[in-house]
Structure 1
């Protein structure tokens, strides 16, 4: 039992960390807050990571209700999540930080814009993106025990805390890693994301194929 809990906890951490990928959020956060003072940028980082963590927990808790309302199965979501993981992992292997582009001139609209960017786009979709949301729903559905759920929530909180630390020290991190170093790390994490994606895809497709074969038989 302890080994199973540890394996599940590590799976949660690996899945969430690679899908959220604080390194890919860091350069975007840096560019969007480059004209803000340190205290304001710190507040934006805290609000964004807290909002993203709450959103992920809400999706994890309400995932089963969403399944019932829209007649979605866990296996189908595993397949879709696997495809999303694989595509995002491929983008990371190509060392593309993000397809999203932002207009830096909007930062001159200081007060209202500063409040908005913490929610969108930093919290959603940069931190709590579709891959991370699919991941928490799948992980929540795969184990029904309260201890497993607490492990998932702890993983969300821990990854959110790590992301917050990355955002706080975004400028020195990017300066130290440099463009080449960041691209290398992105490719490594992209490979991990693709492997997780394949595992989710196969895990969701296998019971569907077995069920189809039983019906045909």
Structure 2
């Protein structure tokens, strides 16, 4: 297999994994699914994974149209997206779920919705596939024009959805193993990775826009 393709895949997967931060979402998942049966929890986890795949795939496919419709360049979007991701990273470095992904209103509404809706709001959107993840997949598609490269982006999205499903399925075990402190430490580590990615996105956008 082409080494470049493998490196590209690992970069995209690691980036999306850090941004979606499904492990950091474990406490929220356990909270909103408290008191339901194991079968129902499995179903919720499956729907969350499906929601993540569908949401990110749709925005990945229509991203180019959005750029054209609003007259925005990929470079400008890269700079703006980098700033957004950096804000998320700073909040993750404090060990908290980013408010860019889920605000106080969404948290309050989570208590008012039915079990069928929980998988979509707030878990699937905006907790896991939030603005940061959406921005990232749109940039991945815009930067990769070859058919194989774009197919790789879609495969990455599918694997992120699958990862999300298995992480939430193992939520009890993860919480017992890591504890709240462990989850916060891991969230901070992902925040650091995300911060470096965000800075690189901003640098690349500026260099490309000004021909540096």
| Superposed pair shares fold, TM > 0.5 | yes
Higher helix share: 1
Following superposition, the deviation at residue 146 of structure 1 comes to 1.1
Unaligned runs of 5+ in 1: 212-217
Match of 2:57 in 1: 57
Task: Write the distance in 2 (CA, Å) between the matches of 1:41 and 1:10.
Answer: 30
- What is the aligned residue count? 207
Task: Write the distance in 1 (CA, Å) between the matches of 2:121 and 2:109.
Answer: 14
Match of 1:214 in 2: none
Task: Write the distance in 1 (CA, Å) between the matches of 2:14 and 2:173.
Answer: 25
Provide, for residues 84-107 of structure 1, a one-character-per-residue CA deviation record: whole Å limited to 9, x for no partner. Answer: 111111111100135445359937
Q: Confirm or deny that 1:39 pairs with 2:13.
A: no
Following superposition, the deviation at residue 161 of structure 1 comes to 0.8
Provide, for residues 13-41 of structure 1, a one-character-per-residue CA deviation record: whole Å limited to 9, x for no partner. Answer: 01110100111111111100012111111
The verdict on how the C-alpha distance between 1:187 and 1:208 changes in structure 2, with shifts beyond 3 A counting, is same
Match of 2:6 in 1: 6
Task: Write the distance in 2 (CA, Å) between the matches of 1:105 and 1:79.
Answer: 32
8 Å CA contact 2:49, 2:165 repeated in 1:
yes
The verdict on how the C-alpha distance between 1:208 and 1:104 changes in structure 2, with shifts beyond 3 A counting, is closer
Larger radius of gyration: 1
Task: Write the distance in 2 (CA, Å) between the matches of 1:136 and 1:191.
Answer: 20
Match of 2:180 in 1: 179
Provide, for residues 135-175 of structure 1, a one-character-per-residue CA deviation record: whole Å limited to 9, x for no partner. Answer: 10101111111111111111111111111111011112111
The two structures have a TM-score, normalised by structure 1, of 0.90
- Map 1:37-186 onto structure 2 (within 5 A): 37-99=37-99, 100-101=103-104, 102-103=107-108, 106=111, 113-186=114-187
Range 3-12 or range 190-199, more displaced: 3-12
The verdict on how the C-alpha distance between 1:130 and 1:75 changes in structure 2, with shifts beyond 3 A counting, is same
Unaligned runs of 5+ in 2: none
8 Å CA contact 2:110, 2:121 repeated in 1:
no
